[in-house]
């Protein structure tokens, strides 16, 4: 298995796909991307596992629809033994969307739809793969740093405990909304925060960078994991306690408006903002206008800087603003950008964000169950 310590030379990529055509196409794309090189291909979960042990890749690209439908099983096995950046490259129509969300929950860092000649062209696919490889490389460095931190923490286990994050002061005024933004690595991160804050019964609005066709599935799985009423946002939805909305992937931005004392979802078509639609920045800016000091903003793992400017607007409006700590991010891009702007009131490890939100409300954190 990979040592997870970034080294000099090309980033080594293993391609696991049962299609010889896709193996050749992925090899061509990866090898033409500066800084990356395919070191092997495999056509089944068993071959993939053996190749991982022998070749020690830095990044794995994985088709979920392997013979016997064992793509998810291989992913779980890989991530359990020694976390490795995994890019899902598969066909996602129909039931495939559920498999993709499950893969992201398990810890795959990203997913790319195979070209179908219609909505997903070969040219677009090649661009997506190249961009995803860069995200995977960035996550590889973060995973290496996280592993080194874990070793340091185990070594220092006998020393007196020190708080990882500064205590979060109680929020001023009544909190009416939690706004969460995330990108690469965000599916399990959002789930963790929402699960840990579910007992507070506050309305939650989420922007997770994800294409159309997946956000409804993501919302359904969040509902099952948290017990909240989670749905893909619709124009005009009124946010209520115990309810959460996920911005639909596609061509519309999610904004939150105040109408006669209620917070209401607004979906509007607009160009990309901060490189994305839906954009975390758009949602955060709208929350700053509509909820001001009665909101809590949370910016989680992700590549780029979407959400940083919006989180700063929320902080200037009096909202409490939290970002995920770098060592717990898959990619510390968006939180780092927010920190550098001065948008973050507190930097919190992922597994403590729910407790920090409870602390803002003067509540006790929910006890985790195994």
Q: Say yes or no: 120 and 191 in one domain.
A: no
* Assigned domain for 353 exists: yes
Q: What is the pLDDT of residues 45-104, one digit of tens each?
A: 999 999 999 999 999 999 998 987 689 999 999 988 877 899 999 876 555 678 889 999
* Assigned domain for 155 exists: no
Q: Nearest to residue 133, comparing CAs of 221, 11, 251, 28?
A: 11
Give the orientation angle of helix 334-341 with respect to helix 308-316, to 10 degrees: 40
Among the candidates 145, 166, 192, a domain finishes at: 145
Rg (CA), the chain: 20
* Assigned domain for 67 exists: yes
Q: Say yes or no: 311 and 207 in one domain.
A: yes
* Assigned domain for 97 exists: yes
Q: Say yes or no: 197 and 291 in one domain.
A: yes
Among the candidates 145, 169, 203, a domain finishes at: 145
* Assigned domain for 165 exists: no
Q: Which residue numbers are catalytic?
A: 183, 209, 306
Q: Give me the percent of the chain exceeding a pLDDT of 70.
A: 85
Give the pLDDT band of residue 354 (cuts 50, 70, 90).
Answer: very high
Q: Say yes or no: 94 and 141 in one domain.
A: yes
Domain of residue 310: give its range. 177-360
Q: What is the pLDDT of residues 297-353, one digit of tens each?
A: 999 999 999 999 999 999 999 999 999 999 999 999 999 999 999 999 999 999 999
CATH of the domain at 329: 3.40.50.180
Q: Say yes or no: 250 and 331 in one domain.
A: yes
Q: What is the pLDDT of residues 112-155, one digit of tens each?
A: 988 876 656 888 899 999 999 998 888 876 655 554 544 444 34
Reported as half-sphere exposure (CB side, CA atoms, 13 A), residue 65 has a value of 14
* Assigned domain for 227 exists: yes
* Assigned domain for 194 exists: yes
Residue carrying structure tokens 């993939």: 48
Number of domains in the chain: 2
CATH of the domain at 50: 3.40.50.2300
* Assigned domain for 228 exists: yes
Among the candidates 127, 145, 163, a domain finishes at: 145
Give yes or no for residue 166 having a pLDDT over 80.
no
**CA 226 to chain CA mean position, Å:** 17
What is the average pLDDT value for the chain, to the nearest integer?
87
Q: Say yes or no: 126 and 198 in one domain.
A: no
This model's pTM is above 0.75: yes
Q: Say yes or no: 182 and 117 in one domain.
A: no
Return the pLDDT at 114: 87
């Amino acid at each position: 298995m990979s040592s997870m310590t970034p080294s000099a030379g090309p980033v080594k990529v293993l391609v696991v796909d049962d299609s010889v055509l896709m193996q050749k196409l992925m090899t061509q794309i990866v090898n033409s991307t500066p800084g990356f090189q395919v070191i092997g291909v495999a056509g089944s979960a068993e071959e993939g596992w053996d190749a991982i042990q022998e070749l020690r890749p830095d990044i794995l690209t994985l088709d979920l629809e392997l013979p016997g439908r064992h793509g998810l099983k291989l992913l779980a096995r890989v991530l359990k033994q020694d976390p490795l950046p995994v890019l899902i490259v598969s066909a996602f129509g129909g039931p495939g969307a559920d498999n993709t969300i499950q893969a992201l929950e398990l810890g795959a860092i990203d997913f790319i739809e195979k070209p179908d000649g219609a909505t997903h062209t070969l040219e677009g696919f090649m661009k997506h793969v190249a961009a995803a490889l860069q995200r995977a490389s960035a996550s590889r460095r973060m995973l290496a740093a996280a592993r080194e931190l874990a070793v340091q923490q185990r070594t220092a286990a006998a020393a007196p405990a020190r708080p990882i994050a500064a205590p979060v002061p109680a929020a001023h005024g009544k909190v009416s909304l939690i706004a969460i933004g995330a990108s690469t690595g965000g599916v399990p991160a959002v789930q963790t925060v929402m699960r840990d804050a579910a007992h507070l019964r506050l309305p939650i609005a989420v922007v997770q960078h994800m294409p159309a066709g997946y956000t409804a599935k993501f919302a359904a799985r969040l509902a099952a994991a948290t017990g909240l009423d989670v749905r893909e946002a619709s124009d005009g939805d009124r946010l209520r306690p115990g309810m959460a909305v996920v911005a639909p992937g596609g061509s519309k931005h999610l904004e939150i408006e105040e109408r006669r004392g209620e917070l209401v979802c607004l979906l509007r078509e607009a160009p990309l903002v901060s490189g994305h639609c839906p954009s975390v920045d758009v949602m955060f800016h709208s929350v700053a206008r509509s909820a001001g000091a009665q909101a809590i903003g949370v910016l989680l793992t992700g590549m780029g800087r979407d959400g940083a400017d919006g989180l700063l607007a929320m902080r200037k409006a009096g909202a409490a603003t939290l970002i995920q700590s770098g060592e717990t991010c898959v990619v510390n891009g968006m939180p780092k950008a927010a920190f550098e702007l001065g948008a973050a009131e507190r930097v919190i490890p992922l597994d403590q964000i729910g407790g920090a939100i409870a602390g803002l409300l003067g509540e006790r954190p929910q006890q985790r169950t195994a």
